Amino acid sequence: MKRHLLLLLVFLTAIQPLRADEGMWLPALISQRIADMQAKGFKLSAEDVYSVNQASLKDAVVLFGSGCTGELVSDEGLLFTNHHCGYSYIQRHSSVDHDYLKDGFWAMNRNEELPNPGLTVSFLERMEDVTSAVLKGYGPSMSEAQRDSVVRANSAALTKAATADGKGLRASVEALYYGNQYFLFVFRVYRDVRLVGAPPSSIGKFGGDTDNWMWPRHTGDFSIFRIYADKDNNPADYSADNVPYRPKKSFKISRAGVKEGDFTFVYGCPGSTKEYAMSEDVRYVSEVSDPQKIALRTLRLDNMKKHMGESPAVRIQYSSKAASVSNAWKKWQGEAKGIDKNDVVNVKRDYERRFSEWAKGTRYDGLVEKLGELFARRNPYYLAYEYYTETARTIELLSFASSLRNAYPDADAVHSVAESFFKDYYQPIDEENFVAVMDAFDKKMPDEFKPAWFKDKLAELGSIEALRDYVFKGSLLTDKAGVMALTADDKDKVAVDPALEMYDAFYRWYYDELRPVINGVNSEISLAYRDYMQGQMDFEKDKAFYPDANLTLRVAYGHVEGYSPADGVYYYPVSTLKGIIEKDNPDIFDYDIPQKLRDIYAEGGYESQPVCFLATNHTSGGNSGSPVINADGNLIGINFDRVWEGTMSDIVFDPEICRNISLDIRYLLFCIDRIGNASYLFDEMNFAD
Ligand code: ARG
Ligand code: GLU
C-alpha cells in the first residue's frame, strides 16, 4: 500500500510539470527550461531561442511602441503586430476623406507606406545579470533609501557604458524578483516605422468590447508595419533616403495550422504580474479594489453607452474612450471572479502558515505578519488614491483645464490642446459622469479621506448637482470659441477657473495627504517583499521561480487547448470564418462586417477558414502582438488577448482555465490577399510550408 502511494506520488510529481504551463521565463536563462520545452515538443535549441553570438529568434521580436510586441516576418523589415497596437497610428492618418480605421489601409508599394512620427520599435541586443555590479558598495547596515541611491548610481553607470556606441542604443537596469536580482537590458531603437497595412476596423476590431476578453472570438486583430534604417542598417530619423531594415532574423510563416495539443511558444513583453503576492495584497485586489473600481466604471460606461446609442457622432467621439474604460473594467471582473472561484486568498493564507512555520528562527521569521500589517496600514490610503484616479481624475473638463494651463499663454499650444479636446468632447456625458462618480466618492469615502475643499464646497452648495453647476456653469473652458479667444491678458480669469480649482484641490489632497503615506509604506513593502520573495525561493528549493513580468522579453510555452468555462460547457480551441458569418449583423455595430467579406464567403469554400485559437501560454498585457511559434520555431499566430475566466493569471495561473487568444496567421494571410488585395507582400515573406 505504502509502495503504491509512493509510486503514485512519484508519478504525480513527474507529470505535474507537464500539465502546468505557468511561467514567463527569461530568454537568457532559457537553457534551464529547454529540456522541458523539448519534452513537450519543441524542436529547437536554447541557442536558437536566445543567443548573443549568433542570430536567434529573439532578433525577430521587438517591443512595439511602449507597450506592445511585434515580430519581423521578412528580410526587408516587414513587421506584424495587433490592430489595437497600431490603432492610434492608423487613426492619426485617417480623415473624413480617407477613413483608414473604417475602410482599412493597404500600401500598394513602398512609396505608399505612411511614416509615424514618435513610433519606435526596440530590438533586444542582450540581457545580462548585473546584480553584483548594481549592489556594489551596498552594505547591510545601509538604510533602504541608501540602498536605492547605490542601486541608482550603479545602474546609471552601467546603462551609460552599455549605450556608448551611440547608434540608437537604449539600456535599462530592471529589478527582478523584487530586487533580489538585477538585469541589464540593451536595446537598439529604430524610429522610422511605416504603416503598410491594416484591415477595416470591422475586421481588426470585430466583436469590439462585446467580445473583448472572451471566447469564442473572431477578431482579425493585426496591423502591418515596416522598419526603415539608414544605408548602414542603423536607426535613423524618418528620411525618404532610408531603406528597409535588414533584420538578423525573421520568422518563417507556417500555414500548416494548429490542432489541439500542438506545442506553442509566445515570445514577447508581458507588462506586469504579481504571482508571489501575499494573501492580504490579493484580498485587497479581489474583494476591495476590483469591485469598487468596476462599480465606478459601470457608472461612466452606462452614461457613455446611452449617449453613444442616441447619436452616431457621439459614438465616434467616445468609442475609443469607452473601449479603454471598458477594457480594464471587464478584465477586473474576470480577475475578481477567478480569484474567488479558486479561493486564492485562503490558498495563500494556508501557504503563509506553512511558510511561517518553516521560517521560525530564520531571518524570515515574522515576515508574513509584518507584510499583513503593512497592507492593513496602506490599504485605506491606497483605496482613497484609487477612488481619486477613478473619479475626480476622470472628469474630462478638469484634465483639460490642467493641460490648458500648461499650454497657456502660448496661443498655438492652447489652440492645439483645445482642438483635440473639443473634437471628441460631449459635455452632457462629462456632466453626468461628474454627478455619478462624485456622488459615489462622497458616499463611499470616509470623511477623513475626502479633500477639505470637497467637504466645504458640498456643505456650502448643498448637493453634487450644485457642485456640478458650480464647476461647469462657472467655467470659461466649456466653450471652444471662448477658449480660442483667450489671450495673455486673461491670465487671472484662467487662474481662478472653477475647473482648475477643483482639479488642484484634489491634486493637492492626493499629493500632500495620500502620497507621502502611500510612498512611505510602499518602500517598507518593497523591502519586506524582497525578503519574502527570497524566503519563498528558499522555502521551496526545488521549485523553478520565474520573475514577475515587467515589460521585459519573456518566453511562455504551452500548447493549443480548449477549456471548460463552466459546468457542462466546453470551448473548442479553434474558431472559423463560419462563426464570423453567424455573428454578422448589420444592425449591431460590433458585428457589422464589410460587405466584401460577405461576398467572399458567399463564393463558398471558406466555412473552415481558421480565424483564432486558444492555447495555454502564460501571457499578460504587453504580450499583445507577440509571435506565437510552433515546435519548429515558425510563426503560426499573433497573440492578442486572454479569456475572461482566466484573467486572474496575473496573480495566479490555473492551467485548467487560463488561456491566451491568438489570431491564426492564416486569417491574416487571407485578409491581406482577399480583403486588401495586397498579396504582393507574400513575395517577401518566407513560408515554411
Ligand atoms: N483585451 C485586449 C487587451 O487587453 C484587447 C483590447 C483592445 N480591444 C478592445 N475591444 N477594447 O489589450
Ligand atoms: N490585449 C492585451 C494587450 O494589449 C493582451 C491581453 C492580455 O492582457 O493578456 O497587451
Tens digits of per-residue pLDDT, 444-457?
A: 999 999 999 999 99
Answer for the pair 630, 263: CB distance below 8 angstroms, yes or no.
yes
Q: Which atom of ligand 2 is nearest to the CA of 84?
A: 4
Q: 576 forms bridges with which residues in the sheet? A: 610
Residue 449 CA to residue 388 CA, distance in Å, equals 10
Nearest CA to ligand 2 atom 2: 621
How many Å separate Cα 582 from the centre of its chain?
30
3-state secondary structure of 660: strand
Tell me, using a 6 A CB cutoff, whether residue 209 lines ligand 1: yes
Residue in 84, 307, 559, 618 annotated catalytic: 84
Tell me, using a 6 A CB cutoff, whether residue 316 lines ligand 1: no
Provide the b/e sequence for 327-351 (b: ≥16 CB within 10 Å).
bebbbbbbbbbbbeebebbeebbeb
Enumerate the H helices of 550-655 as residue ranges: 577-583, 595-602
Strands (E), 48-135: 61-64, 68-72, 78-81, 105-106, 114-115, 121-129
Q: For residue 332, give Cα distances in angstroms to 99, 184, 292, 294.
A: 33, 32, 10, 7
Residue in 211, 221, 430, 650 annotated catalytic: 221
Residue labelled with grid coordinates 503615506: 517
Q: Tell me how far the alpha carbon of residue 672 lies from the centroid of ligand 1, in angstroms.
A: 22
3-state secondary structure of 92: helix
3-state secondary structure of 604: coil
* Number of the ligand closest to the Cα of 213: 1
Residue 103 CA to residue 91 CA, distance in Å, equals 11
The pick from 88, 331, 332, 619 for probing ligand 2's pocket by mutation, whose C-beta has the most ligand atoms within 8 angstroms, reads 619
Q: Which atom of ligand 1 is nearest to the CA of 642?
A: 1
Q: Tell me how far the alpha carbon of residue 216 lies from the centroid of ligand 2, in angstroms.
A: 16
Element containing residue 635 per DSSP (H, E): strand 635-642
Q: Tell me how far the alpha carbon of residue 239 lies from the centroid of ligand 2, in angstroms.
A: 33
Strands (E), 206-301: 223-229, 243-244, 263-268
Q: Which atom of ligand 1 is nearest to the CA of 207?
A: 10
Supply the Cα-derived Rg of the chain in whole angstroms. 26
How many Å separate Cα 218 from the centre of its chain?
20
Nearest CA to ligand 2 atom 6: 641
62 φ/ψ sector (left φ>0, alpha ψ -120 to 50, else beta): beta
C-alpha cell at 183: 538585469
- As for ligand 2, residues whose beta carbon falls within 6 Å of it are 619-624, 640-642
The pick from 90, 272, 641, 650 for probing ligand 1's pocket by mutation, whose C-beta has the most ligand atoms within 8 angstroms, reads 641
Cβ-Cβ contacts under 8 Å for 100 (sequence gap 6 or more): 90, 93, 94, 198
84 tagged catalytic: yes
Enumerate the H helices of 491-549 as residue ranges: 491-495, 498-509, 515-539
Q: For residue 372, give Cα distances in angstroms to 369, 376, 377, 379.
A: 5, 6, 9, 11
pLDDT number for residue 20: 66
Phi, psi angle pair for 662, to nearest 5°: -125, 150
Q: Tell me how far the alpha carbon of residue 168 lies from the centroid of ligand 1, in angstroms.
A: 31
pLDDT number for residue 618: 98
* Number of the ligand closest to the Cα of 662: 2
C-alpha cell at 520: 512611505
What are the tens digits of pLDDT across the range 504-532? 999 999 999 999 999 999 999 999 999 99
Q: Tell me how far the alpha carbon of residue 640 lies from the centroid of ligand 1, in angstroms.
A: 8
Tell me, using a 6 A CB cutoff, whether residue 382 lines ligand 1: no
Give Dmax over CA atoms of the chain in angstroms: 92
The pick from 624, 649, 662 for probing ligand 2's pocket by mutation, whose C-beta has the most ligand atoms within 8 angstroms, reads 624
* Number of the ligand closest to the Cα of 322: 1
CB atoms within 10 A of CB 550: 18
pLDDT along the chain (689 residues), means of 10: 50 47 95 96 98 97 96 98 94 83 95 97 97 96 91 98 93 97 97 98 96 98 98 97 98 97 97 97 97 98 96 86 94 97 97 98 97 97 98 98 92 92 96 98 98 98 98 96 90 91 98 97 94 98 95 96 96 98 95 98 96 98 98 98 97 96 98 98 98
Tell me, using a 6 A CB cutoff, whether residue 327 lines ligand 1: yes
* Number of the ligand closest to the Cα of 63: 2
Nearest to 609 by CA among 644, 580, 568: 580
pLDDT number for residue 491: 84
Nearest to 369 by CA among 526, 532, 145, 144: 532
Beta strand 181-190 with 78-81: parallel, antiparallel or unpaired?
unpaired
DSSP letter for 644, please: G
Nearest CA to ligand 1 atom 8: 212
45 tagged catalytic: no
Answer for the pair 209, 301: CB distance below 8 angstroms, yes or no.
no
DSSP letter for 646, please: G
Nearest CA to ligand 1 atom 2: 641
Q: Tell me how far the alpha carbon of residue 621 lies from the centroid of ligand 2, in angstroms.
A: 4
Q: Tell me how far the alpha carbon of residue 97 lies from the centroid of ligand 1, in angstroms.
A: 27
Tell me, using a 6 A CB cutoff, whether residue 622 lines ligand 1: no
* Number of the ligand closest to the Cα of 209: 1
Q: Tell me how far the alpha carbon of residue 85 lies from the centroid of ligand 2, in angstroms.
A: 10
Residue 48 CA to residue 267 CA, distance in Å, equals 13
Residue 162 CA to residue 627 CA, distance in Å, equals 28
Q: Is the dihedral of CA 147, 150, 151, 152 positive or negative?
A: positive
DSSP letter for 685, please: B
The pick from 64, 221, 620 for probing ligand 2's pocket by mutation, whose C-beta has the most ligand atoms within 8 angstroms, reads 620
324 tagged catalytic: no
What are the DSSP calls for 230-252, one per residue?
Answer: -TTS------TT-EE---S--PP
Q: Tell me how far the alpha carbon of residue 212 lies from the centroid of ligand 1, in angstroms.
A: 6
What are the DSSP calls for 124-175, one per residue?
Answer: EEEEEE-HHHHTTT--TTS-HHHHHHHHHHHHHHHHHHHTTT-SSEEEEEEE
Answer for the pair 371, 525: CB distance below 8 angstroms, yes or no.
yes
